[in-house]
Amino acid sequence: MEPIRVVLLPGSVLPAEPAYGALIEALGPDVDAVAKDLELYDGDEPPPDWSLDTEIEGVLREADARGWETFHLLGYSGGGAASLAFAAKHPQRLLSLTLLEPAWAGSWDWSPAHTRLWKDYEALESLPPDQFMAAFMRLGVKPDVVLPPPPEGGPPPWMAKRPAGIRAFLRDFKIYDLDRARLAAFNRPVFFALGGLSNPDDYGEVGERLSTVFPNFRLEVFPDRHHFDPPHRIEPDRLGALLREHWERADRVV
């Protein structure tokens, strides 16, 4: 029996290996899981012409290099936004789609609360790097959530690239054309994991809107999780079991 083939895209902060190591271990040896870092961080600065399409091309190169004509795709946060864009442009390559609180889901008639929140995200542009990350994280969770303190000994070296990378995502979200009609035509299973402590005006509304677009959609809430202690790191066994169910459903889709 061939292993299950899946590409895992991380968010705009944690690199792919530490983000997905626990989940890959929980999935077991019969899952060929590729934790792929974002193209955004290949150099010291984001490429000047970077967009979600850059991440799409990176996923295609990875899959083609492995000889994968079709595969499952999973993306978290910024990687979830890139995964949505991939599904719109290359649906024939995907067996299923998994979205772990995607950071963005295209242009909608968003609620007033969501629109205000994105004004707050845009205001982050003016903050210096030492304030940027704390303000960015605060917007992603409910007001009473206690966020983890900065790491002892200072941030890891890769963190220096993150404010510029997050800004690149936010700029691209303003102009990227995500084709909603193509998403609506995507008939493969879509699984959405939502943290119960994440900002409902952000990720909760994204999940609600996508539930009206994808014809084969399932949303699962992790009550004790939020965007910065997500289930793929904190509850990998539970998420892994749900992913196996999701992929089994994909096998049954004609």
Residue 254 pLDDT? 61
Give the architecture (CATH level 2) of 4-252. Answer: 3-Layer(aba) Sandwich (3.40)
Domain boundaries, the chain: 4-252
Q: How far is CA 68 from CA 31, 32, 37, 169, in A?
A: 14, 11, 18, 27
d(CA 7, CA 59): 8
pLDDT band at 200 (very low <50, low <70, confident <90, very high): very high
Residue 93 pLDDT? 98
Residues 104-130 pLDDT 10s: 999 888 999 999 999 999 999 889 877
Q: How far is CA 46 from CA 16, 24, 125, 163, in A?
A: 17, 28, 15, 10
Contact in structure between 74 and 7 (CB atoms under 8 Å): yes
Which is it for strands 31-35 and 4-9: parallel, antiparallel or unpaired? parallel
Residues 134-179 pLDDT 10s: 999 999 999 999 998 877 888 899 999 999 999 999 999 999 999 9
Q: In the predicted model, is pLDDT for residue 253 greater than 90?
A: no
Residues 37-72 pLDDT 10s: 999 999 999 999 999 999 999 999 999 999 999 999
Q: How far, rounded to the nearest angstrom, does the alpha carbon of residue 60 sit from its chain's CA centroid?
A: 17
Which is it for strands 71-76 and 94-100: parallel, antiparallel or unpaired? parallel
